[in-house]
């Protein structure tokens, strides 16, 4: 009788090793290898009938392509993020911090999908009674949503074979386990195996699959990285502590634009959509203040106006602080060097703080000009011109480089009453806003401060 073989699997990255090590050789995480032993499985049994389905290869040009009806969620902001709705057979992974409202978002979208499609909600974290109580609080307790409180994968597969729903919601993937593995629910092997089998079922039976995923303290979805590669769409549900506003952002989307975002407000009776988020993220200053400027940023197909705020103060420290919230700290360091070399602003003995108001994260290079002007405005204690927006990428030589979607950015700025825009010189789109094309940082400073 052969000895049962075991592997040690890293709970951070999913790498396996035949022996235990204190540090993972792949990702470098300490004390993350856990022993896992596969259960004995009868020959030919893969645990799911879906694996037995096979189809002959087809020529790509001969594959029939029908017009696909996307399933609406009943939440227009969520539909926008998904590219207009859910494609049947798509697998969606939703991640977010504990208590951010993932289950609420899932339950409200289930209510919208239940209007036209059969929905099965599988909860491994709550009992059916607890879920029904929350549904009543949200005002959707009387809708035709089937609920299954179960975390045993084989039992869920049996229910799917019997019921054949059009939409399957799993809350959450870390609570499921299969009897083919002896490791605990939530381990890398369990998450990988359960997700793979559910995605396979979704693809072969055209079931729209939603899976909620827990996140680690670093903000990444817990489990193996391969989990994000298995699914078609990865959504992150974000929000600042103490703020009622929530943002759902598409990190990956095979059927729509990546980096698309939708904005919600968490209220007593659930999530309410914010159809015009630009007004939400702008401060209502009575007059221009130093260190503040408005940036038209592009999130997927949506242009969004956000306020860039900066504060510059003399530093008592040998190494002055550079703090960036909602912005890449390395990008801020680069912009401060450009300001020093090409803007005549010597900030080596100043603490610099930059914040994107409203808890929004802006990672595109088009924010460079707005950040630089906000820092310069705070350093000079002089506000920029009233009704001004600015965008553009700054090069290391101090030049302004063109960015995409300039027309969309200007259209959103015009809609909210702004009448001046500083942008890179080049092919400027037609706009009712007075445009100030600039070739360099020096030209932009001249336009922003008017002297």
Condensed to tens digits (0 to 9), the pLDDT of residues 301-319 reads 889 999 999 999 999 999 9
User: Environment class of residue 430 by beta-carbon count within 10 Å: exposed (0-12), middle (13-18) or buried (19+)?
Assistant: exposed
Segment holding 266, helix H or strand E: strand 261-267
Helix intervals (H) in 258-300: 277-281
Contact 254, 295 (CB under 8 A): no
The reported pTM is 0.79
Helix intervals (H) in 82-187: 102-113, 128-137, 153-163
Q: What pLDDT is stored for residue 2 in this prediction?
A: 52
Cα dist from 223 to 32, 170, 248, 359, whole Å: 12, 15, 20, 26
Q: What pLDDT is stored for residue 1 in this prediction?
A: 44
Contact 20, 8 (CB under 8 A): yes
Q: What residue numbers does the annotated binding site for ATP cover?
A: 96-103
What is the rounded CA–CA span in Å between residue 434 and residue 184?
62
Instruction: Find the radius of gyration of the CA atoms of the chain.
Output: 26
Q: What residue numbers does the annotated binding site cover?
A: 96-103
Sign (positive/negative) of CA torsion 87, 201, 253, 118? positive
Q: Which residues of the chain have pLDDT under 70?
A: 1-4, 38-54, 66-67, 218-219, 222-224, 451
Q: What pLDDT is stored for residue 51 in this prediction?
A: 47
What is the rounded CA–CA span in Å between residue 38 and residue 24?
21
Describe the strand order of the beta sheet including 350-356 as a list of residue ranges: 322-325, 350-356, 302-314, 292-299, 388-390, 420-424, 434-438
Residues in Cβ contact with 303 at an 8 Å cutoff, skipping those fewer than 6 apart: 296, 297, 405, 408, 409, 411, 412
Contact 176, 124 (CB under 8 A): yes
What is the rounded CA–CA span in Å between residue 353 and residue 351?
7
CA max distance for the chain: 88
Segment holding 239, helix H or strand E: none
Contact 276, 303 (CB under 8 A): no
pLDDT digits (tens, 9 = 90+) for 176-189: 999 988 888 888 88
What is the rounded CA–CA span in Å between residue 286 and residue 406?
28
């Amino acid at each position: 009788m052969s000895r049962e073989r075991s592997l040690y699997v890293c709970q951070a990255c999913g790498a396996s090793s035949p022996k235990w090590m204190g540090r993972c050789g792949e990702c470098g995480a300490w004390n993350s290898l856990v022993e896992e032993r596969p259960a004995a499985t009868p020959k030919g049994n893969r645990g799911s009938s879906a694996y037995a389905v096979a189809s002959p290869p087809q020529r790509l040009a001969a594959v029939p392509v029908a017009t696909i009806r996307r399933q609406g969620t009943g939440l227009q902001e969520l539909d926008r993020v998904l590219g207009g709705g859910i494609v049947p057979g798509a697998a969606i992974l939703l991640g977010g911090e504990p208590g951010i409202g993932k289950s609420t978002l899932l339950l409200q979208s289930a209510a919208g999908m239940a209007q036209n499609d059969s929905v099965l909600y599988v909860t491994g974290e709550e009992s059916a009674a607890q879920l029904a109580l929350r549904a009543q609080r949200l005002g959707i307790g009387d809708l035709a949503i089937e609920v299954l409180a179960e975390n045993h994968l084989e039992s869920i597969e049996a229910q799917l074979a019997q019921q054949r729903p059009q939409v399957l919601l799993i809350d959450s993937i870390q609570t499921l386990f299969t009897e083919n593995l002896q490791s605990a629910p939530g381990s890398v092997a369990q998450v990988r195996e359960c997700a793979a089998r559910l995605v396979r079922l979704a693809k072969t039976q055209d079931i729209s699959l939603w899976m909620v995923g827990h996140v680690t303290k670093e903000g990444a979805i817990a489990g193996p990285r391969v989990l994000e590669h298995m699914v078609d769409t990865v959504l992150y549900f974000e929000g600042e502590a103490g703020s009622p506003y929530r943002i759902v952002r598409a990190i990956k989307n095979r059927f729509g634009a990546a980096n698309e975002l939708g904005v919600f407000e968490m209220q007593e009776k659930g999530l309410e959509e914010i159809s015009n988020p630009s007004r939400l993220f702008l401060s209502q200053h009575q007059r221009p203040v130093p260190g503040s400027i408005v940036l038209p940023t592009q999130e997927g197909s949506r242009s969004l106006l956000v306020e860039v705020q900066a504060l510059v103060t003399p530093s008592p420290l040998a190494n002055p602080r550079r703090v960036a919230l909602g912005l890449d700290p390395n990008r801020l360091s680069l912009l401060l060097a450009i300001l020093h070399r090409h803007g005549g602003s010597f900030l080596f003995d100043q603490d610099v703080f930059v914040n994107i108001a409203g808890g929004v994260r802006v990672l595109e290079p088009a924010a460079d000009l707005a950040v630089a002007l906000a820092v310069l405005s705070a350093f000079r204690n002089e506000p920029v011109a009233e009704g001004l927006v600015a965008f553009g990428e700054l090069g290391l030589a101090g030049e302004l480089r063109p960015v995409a979607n300039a027309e969309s950015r200007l259209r959103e700025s015009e809609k909210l009453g702004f009448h001046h825009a500083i942008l890179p010189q080049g092919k400027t789109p037609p706009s009712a806003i007075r445009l100030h094309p600039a070739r360099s940082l020096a030209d932009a400073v001249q336009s922003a401060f008017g002297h």
